[in-house]
Structure 1
Amino acid sequence: MQAVDGTSTLTDQVFESVRKAIHSGELRPGQLYSVYQLAAELKVSRTPVREAMLRLAEAGLVRFERSRGFRVLRSDPKEIAEVFHLRLLLEVPAARLAAHRRDPALLQAMRAELEEMREAAAAHDEPRFMRHDAAFHRLLLQGGHNGKLVGIVDNLRDATITLGASTVDRSRSLPDIAREHEPILAALEAGDAEAVAAAMRTHIGHTGELLLAQAAAANGVPVDPDDLALIRATSA
């Protein structure tokens, strides 16, 4: 893990550093770690580490063990299924609505975000890619003129990130993900609302199924048919 650099609050930096270490596998599920150990490695006091770990515990990434430290938890397949079920329920009809209300400014902005995603993919810059991926989705949601919906979907995406769930370099590459956005934009440019909705359904459903399979494998269990049905019921 990288030492914190003072550009944001220490707690925020520790939270992000530990989250990335969990995602990368540097901190392994099931293994016991101590606050003292992390504080020394990150070159900070124990207080911001303890505060960050409490946030990670609330997010379900770690579990404290009294007087011993904390263990990294594996991603919960059911939670991933529930998040993507909600995203499909919300984003697919929102995409259809945005297609009916599309305007040249929206199309231009989405083209720019997709191009940024392609460039970030070519450079294998995952953080930059994910920023523009999120912006692409947010623009389409904003096209439906429902600010509360945008906020809810942002929270759902954040939940997936906090869980450390990602398909990058596991079940698909950054260029693969960028290409999944192309049919969405093409259908929007054509003014085909049903095609926009179908492309969004395919993209989000595919992502959810891949993450569900990864989480099940990490837990050493088969994919629960009920979890898979939760995603497929809204992505079929």
Structure 2
Amino acid sequence: MPSLRLPEAPSLADAVAQAIRDGVASGQLVPETTYSVYQLAEILGVSRSPVREGMLRLAEAGLVEIRRNRGFRVLPPRTDDIEEIIGIRLALEPPAARRAAERGTDEQLAEIRASLAAMAGAASRGDEAAFWPADRALHDALLRTSGRPRTATIVDRLRSTTALLGPPTTAAGRTLTAILAEHEPVVSAVLARDGAAAEGAMRAHLEATRAVLVALIAGR
């Protein structure tokens, strides 16, 4: 019987999804094995509803397969999942960075600058818990500045899915300072209203992220 712990999370369903992801990563939940909702609810000490909701999120991420009237089957993370997610982001975010540089208002550019400053502050403290929300806020600000709020919502969901698939890229030794350094050329180009440079810098950042995440999953 696996021993899982509910982490802190925005909602109970988020906590369940994270606990199950952690169980897969630690080997407590075994790939290709079927677990029941009742079993997981008992282990985690919660009702069945948040377990079902968490399962749906994990199924969307490709980490479990829902088996009707039986529960769910754990699936091993695949590099194809990361390739697909980053491929979608590469289609959306670099051109959005260009538009943000070309169309952003002074107020919007100030928000982008502030998001980068929050990342820099977290990196200087080694505060990973503060760094990742600031990272997401920066990407969100760039997308919304480009005039693409639906795209911002899509990318945020994709990032949530990526987080369920495996650990952050810092698990491969990539430092917060190094990740910050990949974002700085994007923001500098946007603030300078250099659309081509902003697009190229965002593409380089996402391609570097893809390489690290694929290597992490392939090395499991």
- Fold conserved (TM > 0.5)? yes
Q: 1:2-31: CA deviations, max 9, x gaps?
A: 4477x86543431233234545x3646538
The equivalent of 1:213 in structure 2 is 215
Q: Which amino acid aligns with 1:42?
A: L
Paired AA for residue 187 in structure 1:
A
Amino acid at match of 1:73: L
| TM-score (ref. length: structure 1) | 0.75
- Aligned 1:17-96 pairs, distance under 5 A: 17-22=19-24, 25=26, 27=28, 30=31, 32=33, 34-35=35-36, 38-63=40-65, 72-96=74-98
**Secondary structure of the structure 2 residue equivalent to 1:74:** coil
Report what 1:231 is aligned to: none
Task: Judge conservation of contact 1:98–1:140 (CA < 8 Å) in 2.
Answer: yes
What count of residue pairs does the alignment treat as equivalent? 216
**Shift in alpha-carbon separation, 1:200–1:74, aligned structure 2, 3 A:** same
Partner of 1:99: 101
**Cα gap change, 1:196 to 1:3, in 2 (>3 Å):** closer
The answer on whether the counterparts of 2:61 and 2:162 sit within 8 Å (CA) in structure 1 is: no
Structure 2, unaligned runs of 5 or more: none
Partner of residue 204, structure 1? 206
Greater CA deviation, 30-39 or 170-179? Answer: 30-39
Encode CA deviations 1:41-61: one digit per residue, 9 max, x unaligned. 422245533443344234311
Q: Indicate the residue corresponding to 2:133 in structure 1.
A: 131
Cα shift readout 1:99-127 (whole Å, capped 9, x = no counterpart): 11133222221222112222323444434
SS at match of 2:219: helix
Shift of the alpha carbon at 1:199?
A: 0.7
TM score, norm. by length of structure 2 = 0.80
What is the one-letter code of the residue matched to 2:146?
Answer: G
Sort the Cα spacing of 1:169 and 1:59 in 2 relative to 1 into closer, same or farther, 3 A.
closer
Give the conservation status (yes or no) of the 8 Å contact 2:17–2:58.
yes
Alignment partner of 1:176 out of 170, 175, 178: 178
Determine whether 1:167 maps to 2:169. Answer: yes
- Give 1:109's aligned residue: 111
- Kindly indicate whether the alpha-carbon contact (under 8 Å) linking 1:3 and 1:41 is maintained by their aligned counterparts in 2: no
Q: Deviations over 1:134-178 (max 9, x none)?
A: 110111111211222222222322222232353122141222211
Moved more, 83-92 or 29-38: 29-38
Q: 1:153 is aligned with what amino acid? A: V
Q: CA RMSD in A?
A: 3.0
Map of 1:121-160 to 2, 5 A cutoff? Answer: 121-160=123-162
1:171/1:56 Cα in 2 relative to 1: closer, same or farther (>3 Å)?
same
Deviations 1:79-103 (A, max 9, x none): 2112111211111111111111133
User: What letter is aligned with 1:30?
Assistant: P
CA contact (8 A) 1:27 1:72 kept: no
Identity within the alignment, %: 41
In structure 1, the gaps of 5 or more residues are 219-236
Q: Is the 8 A contact 1:32 1:69 kept in 2?
A: no
| One-letter amino acid of the structure 2 residue matched with residue 17 of structure 1 | A
> Could you report, residue by residue, the CA deviation over 1:164-216 in whole angstroms, capped at 9, with x for unpaired residues?
35312214122221121111111222222211111111101110121122222
